[in-house]
Amino acid sequence: MKKYKSILLLLSFSSLPLTAQWFPKSKSFDDLWMSYYSKQNLFSQAYGIQTRDMIRTETESEEEDFLYYWKACGHPEIKDLSQILRFISFYDAILTVRQCSESSKDGLMQIEKQTKKKIFDLIVLPKFEILESEIISEELIPLVAELRMEWEKTIYVFSNLYKSHEVLFLGKEREYTLAINRVLYSEMPETRRKTLVLRLLQDMKQQNKNTYQLFYYSKQNPWSASTLNEENSESKKFYLTLINEWILDPDFDPDKLNDLKAFQSCLEEIPNTNQRIRILGFFGFFSDYGRFTTKDQLSFSQTNQSRIRYIRQTLFRSHHFQKRLENVLTSCKNSVQSIKEL
């Protein structure tokens, strides 16, 4: 009988409410996510929570595969094009030089045409324009408005964060844009269109949450830095090097120089040692556009260097570069202001 009494006593104690000071309620992920989007700063708890993760990059064997097939490819033009393609989609570049090395002479011309088209398709983000006159269902109107907002967050905001598993230039951004255009303007029953719009919305929201979650909670970084100070130092060095090159680049849009210089000044104001600011939050922006400003491209053929210049001109004048630059500048200014208010 005493045994049963002790069990009942235990159960009665376990049903008592837990005090808040011992078990503080943490913010929900939605709260953190909305806080980031509304304030646009670089606050992160990564270095207070997790151990360092490893980054998935091209392996040594993959690099060797590319070099092997590149040397085996006997078509100079395809070899040139593959050097550019690898900065946009490394795995497409491997496939291209492999096809070249295994193809007959008759097939090489087709591979060359396909590679040129692929490069153009992958550097130009598909046009996204919602035509209100084409939306005939009243139920769809608010959903499409929400879809536009989520698309803008995806393209202009969350793309600026660090994306460790990104293997294609603007890959997810292009995928969502094409999917939205297909859903909105293809012939289909309106009930099915609504279902697909809802799925796209859910998928984009989840993708954005995952991207921010990686930034907020994970220590993943391209340099395998084990401390925030080290990571901030490497991040800032990478960004400022690119900014200095862009300022001197004749292909950079002069209309955006003031914003770029303002961003440079803002970055220099953020101390590497601040434990509340994670400068890696700008990495996606610099990684995307900086891939076409690298030293090894100076060894390219004259034709390839002209192509790279065209790509840089196209990207620097794109709507996504302009909007993303505005967003990273806003985020940087908010971060500097938050430091001053501490």
Lowest mean pLDDT among 2-6, 278-282, 287-291, 309-313: 2-6
The angle that helices 283-290 and 228-248 make with each other, rounded to 10 degrees, is 40
Same domain, 229 and 335: yes
- The SS3 call for residue 129 is coil
Between 73 and 342, residue with greater pLDDT: 73
310 with 208, same domain? no
Question: Is position 49 within any domain?
Answer: no
CB distance 36 to 212 below 8 Å: yes
* Confidence tier at 96 by pLDDT (50, 70, 90): very high
Q: Do both 272 and 336 map to the same domain?
A: yes
In a domain? residue 265: yes
37, part of any domain: no
User: Is 34 part of a structural domain of the chain?
Assistant: no
Same domain, 204 and 139: yes
- In this structure, the number of other CB atoms found within 10 A of the CB of residue 31 comes to 10
Whether residues 265 and 328 share a domain: the answer is: yes
pLDDT confidence of 12, banded at 50, 70, 90? very low
Q: Answer yes or no: do 176 and 230 share one domain.
A: no
Regarding whether 313 and 283 lie in a shared domain, the answer is yes
Number of domains making up the chain:
3
Residues 331 and 297 in one domain: yes
Give the residue from 198, 217, 236 where a domain finishes. 217
Are 246 and 313 in a shared domain?
yes
| C-alpha distances out from residue 179 to 145, 215, 334, Å | 16, 26, 33
Q: Is the pLDDT of residue 82 over 60?
A: yes
- Local structure of residue 140 (DSSP, 8 states): H
Average pLDDT over residues 215-243: 92
Residue 123: DSSP 8-state: H
Reply yes or no on whether the pLDDT at 341 is more than 80: no
66 within domain boundaries: yes
Q: Classify residue 28: in a domain, yes or no.
A: no
Q: Tell me whether residue 139 is in a domain.
A: yes
User: What pLDDT does residue 199 have?
Assistant: 95
Which amino acid appears at position 111 of this protein? I
Query: What are the tens digits of pLDDT across the range 141-194?
Result: 899 899 999 999 999 999 999 876 667 888 889 999 999 999 988 889 989 999
Q: Are residue 259 and residue 302 in the same domain, yes or no?
A: yes
Token reading at 237: 């060095």
Q: Which domain holds residue 92?
A: 60-123
Mean pLDDT calculated for residue range 252-268: 95
> Using 50, 70 and 90 to split pLDDT, how confident is the model at 314?
very high
By residue count, the chain amounts to: 342
Which residue, of 172, 198, 217, is where some domain finishes? 217
Predicted structure pTM score: 0.83
Cα–Cα distance measured from residue 110 to residue 206, given in angstroms and rounded to the nearest whole number? 39
Q: Of 123, 158, 174, which closes a domain? A: 123
Same domain, 165 and 243: no
Confidence band of 119 (pLDDT split at 50, 70, 90): very high
> Does residue 50 form part of some domain?
no
The pLDDT > 90 percentage for the chain reads: 52
- Provide the CB-side half-sphere exposure for 306 (13 A, CA): 3
Do 236 and 316 lie in a common domain?
Answer: yes
